[in-house]
A = this chain, B = another copy of it.
Amino acid sequence: MSYNSFGRVFRFTTWGESHGPALGAVVDGCPPGLNLSEADIQPFLDKRRPGQSRFTTQRQEPDQVRILSGVFEGRTTGTPISLMIENVDQRSKDYSDVAQAYRPGHADYAYDAKYGFRDYRGGGRSSARETAARVAAGAVARLVIPEVRIRAWVEAIGGDSIDQAAFDAQEIDRNPFFCPDAEAAHRWEALVDAARKAGSSLGAVIACEAVGVPAGWGAPLYAKLDSELAAACMSINAVKGVEIGDGFAAAALTGEQNADAMRPGTDGPAFLANHAGGIAGGISTGQAVRVRVAFKPTSSILTPVPTISPSGEATEIATKGRHDPCVGIRGAPVVEAMMALVLADQKLLHRAQVG
């Protein structure tokens, strides 16, 4: 209900700016008795961590998480879990230009228009660094839904899509793009290198799938599973579109084409298709829950763009500093985290109402 919290009964609040001393999340409503240590969280932060290849920002952040509360003798107690990650490699001097001119496409102008004031260092609160807190919270959420396996991958960069026929889940962790198609990953190396060298940036599309969600999670109408997922994914920096199942493609289908026909199965129905992305009427059907998310290209680019200064004068800006040439790439672990956070909340909400 407040501006920096998400979830209803499994709820988290994030805090922290790109260039402050630290950032973190408070996870509230977590069930008691779950085994939890920093080691359960760190691998997910490591996946998202910058500086691991030349295709992401060169900022070096160890992103070591500390659990400050809510765990006793290795188990969650049911009280709020405070997670903190210190900022180590913030170089504020890189951002002096940003104070003098609004970066088009960035939050600079809107923040100033709202607050009359902003923390211009590295985008402050609007920096993608905030997503580290989500990933940490998401790792806790995963413990709440052990029955669910969540996997995200990059489906397209700069308009160049994977070949769905070549999809190989094993491949996702073998390249720096979370790309399930080895050939596409190869092409993307050249694509992203070129963008980086040109001082440009690229957009991306992330797909995410949750397998093992039982039928019945979600709720009509304003806590619909799909509505919550849409809010969760659109709350990530740089996201401009969200689809459930076939998404916009479904708008071009007929009712027969779009119907996920059912046959008797061993445990519930056997569906003959999954156009719906595992959600009907806001409630999970037991099929894989599928979401696709569009990330715009990074707005901090070296190419000069016409803009204005805070005092309203014409100027142009070329953003120096260490930016991701394609912020969408590191979006994959963030979308996974948001999927986990939404599903954990919906599981507990379902348990509240239906038992």
Contacts and interface: CB of A to CB of B under 8 A. Distances in A.
Contacts of A235: 221-222, 224, 227, 282
Q: In the assembly, how many copies of this chain are there?
A: 4
A2 B6 contact: no
Interface stretch (A38-46, A48-56, A57-65, A273-281): A273-281
Contact of A255 (B2, B216, B299): B299
B77 A254 contact: no
A235 to B, nearest CB: 4
Interface string A226-262: 1111111111010111111111101111111111111
B251 A240 contact: yes
A187 interface: no
A233 B247 CA distance: 13
Interface residues of A, number: 158
A65 to B, nearest CB: 13
A93 interface: no
B308 A3 contact: no
Contacts of A223: 2-4
Contacts of A31: 353-355
A255 B105 contact: yes
A321 interface: no
B228 A272 contact: no
16 contacts: A3-B221, A4-B26, A17-B77, A21-B68, A24-B82, A68-B84, A77-B119, A84-B84, A104-B262, A106-B280, A114-B216, A202-B254, A222-B235, A227-B231, A240-B246, A248-B294
